[in-house]
A and B are shown apart, each in its own frame.
Chain A
């Protein structure tokens, strides 16, 4: 299947700093990318859906100014956690799909805010 690369796999940052997570589709053009968050022993919760070249659509309860999503090209989407706090510590996963195809997932990023 297609490959989605997510980077970094782990990041530790200080409270108040910002962290950027990248999601790349390596061998296909991703017209739509999804960002999920997973708390320990919880489901993957959809945070936002982004289409290339347009603003992301955020799920209810997700702060747009806190979690900045940019889908500038057909192969790259970024999630920036701004002014991170310990409660933002979580596992973040992206997925990508092209028109009419299944979604492929990145490896996930474990964010720890200290």
Chain B
């Protein structure tokens, strides 16, 4: 079956540091890949997505590249802000539509001033 593995948190960084949150997946076929973010007290929000190999999703300074050869979709940001503190979820769906999602466990990011 499908599965998503992401690094355990919390990840603690100082403001303006470089961020990487690793995500690898196991899936049949060619899934679509997503990063969701959950700010404290709020629901999950779609941060970025990629639907095929070598696609790069980007939003709000975050980016992730769909790497089929390494089955990875690592999230990166060049300079984090305190307001980026949240829980980040990597997820996949089996087809190009928005069918049921398989999530990773989530990685908490804490950014200090």
Contact = CB atoms under 8 A, between A and B. Distances in A.
Interface of A: 1, 4, 6, 9, 34, 36, 41-44, 46, 49, 93, 95, 97, 100-108
B45 to A, nearest CB: 7
Nearest to B36: A105
24 contacts: A4-B43, A6-B43, A9-B41, A34-B100, A34-B101, A36-B103, A41-B105, A42-B105, A43-B103, A43-B105, A43-B106, A44-B106, A46-B101, A46-B102, A93-B43, A93-B44, A100-B97, A100-B98, A105-B36, A105-B44, A106-B43, A107-B41, A107-B43, A108-B43
A32 to B, nearest CB: 9
Contacts of A4: 43
Contacts of B106: 43-44
Interface residues of B, number: 19
Nearest to B6: A43
Nearest to B93: A103
Nearest to A45: B103
Interface string B29-65: 0000000100001111110000000000000000000
